[in-house]
Chain A
Amino acid sequence: NAGVMQNPRHLVRRRGQEARLRCSPMKGHSHVYWYRQLPEEGLKFMVYLQKENIIDESGMPKERFSAEFPKEGPSILRIQQVVRGDSAAYFCASSPTGTVYGYTFGSGTRLTVV
């Protein structure tokens, strides 16, 4: 079991470009969660998805951010027209049950906007 896989590990984008972050959950996990971590801060919840459904997006910024978890393939966190303030580490977690029991985090994608 390879765990939660996130790629790329590091991503550099110029202001105004798009960033796509990918997350493959653990085998057997159908619940995916995205968190953002600013430097020297704790993780902040962004969105919770199941296959083809967004369950809770209460932590997602209203503009430029979107997430999907298609029937086939990884979950994608998409940030359009990136700005310097989007620079952060983005972590994905997966769970087998839709609760925090069994939560497993990936190693994250470090996004740098220049």
Chain B
Amino acid sequence: GESVGLHLPTLSVQEGDNSIINCAYSNSASDYFIWYKQESGKGPQFIIDIRSNMDKRQGQRVTVLLNKTVKHLSLQIAATQPGDSAVYFCAESGNEKLTFGTGTRLTIIP
């Protein structure tokens, strides 16, 4: 079946630096993508989303880039803070349900 995958399972970033988390998806019919943050013992928390008719979307300290040609999604976090430590998931959808990637664990180095 279709799946969403991530390039890197772990990422360590110096506090204050920018983080980039990547995601590859395989379902070309997907038209909506979401990045979630999951802290230990908690449910997924919405960060930012993007529709397939867009290439880039910015939020507060976060930017999502979508490259439909190579089916690639990325999440950029500016000026990474200790509170950004978590597992980040990309998810894609074409209807009422989400297909999640495995996740990338982001660790902030003080």
Are B101 and A42 closer than 8 Å at their CB atoms? yes
A 62-106 binary contact with B (CB < 8 Å = 1; else 0): 000000000000000000000000000001000100111101111
Contacts of A35 in B (CB 8 A): 98, 100
Contact between A91 and B44, CB atoms less than 8 A apart: yes
A108 within 8 A of B: yes
Indicate whether A55 reaches chain B with its CB closer than 8 angstroms.
Answer: yes
B96 touches A44 (CB 8 A): no
The answer to whether A43 and B100 touch across the interface, beta carbons within 8 angstroms, is yes
Max chain B Cβ within 10 angstroms of own Cβ: one of A35, A41, A98, A100: A100
| A91 close to B98 (CB less than 8 A) | no
Nearest-Cβ distance from residue A45 to partner chain B, whole angstroms: 5
Cβ A41 vs Cβ B102 within 8 A:
yes
Nearest residue, chain B, Cβ from A97: B96
Give chain B residues whose Cβ lies under 8 Å from the Cβ of A42: 4, 89, 91, 100-103
Q: How far apart are B73's CB and chain A's nearest CB, in angstroms?
A: 14
Q: Chain B residues with Cβ under 8 A from A95's Cβ?
A: 96
How far is B89's CA from A94's CA once the two chains are assembled, in angstroms? 18
Size band of the interface chain B makes with A: 20 to 34
Chain A interface residue bracket vs B:
20 to 34
Given the interface contacts A100-B32, A105-B43, A105-B44, does A45 sit within 8 Å of B99 by beta carbon? yes
Q: Are B100 and A56 in contact, CB atoms less than 8 angstroms apart?
A: no
Contact residues of A with B, CB < 8 Å?
4, 31, 33, 35, 40-45, 48, 55-56, 59, 91, 95, 98-101, 103-108, 110
21 CB-based A-B contacts, threshold 8 Å? A35-B98, A40-B102, A40-B103, A41-B103, A42-B4, A42-B89, A42-B101, A42-B102, A43-B91, A43-B98, A43-B100, A55-B96, A56-B96, A91-B43, A100-B32, A100-B96, A100-B97, A103-B34, A103-B98, A107-B42, A108-B43
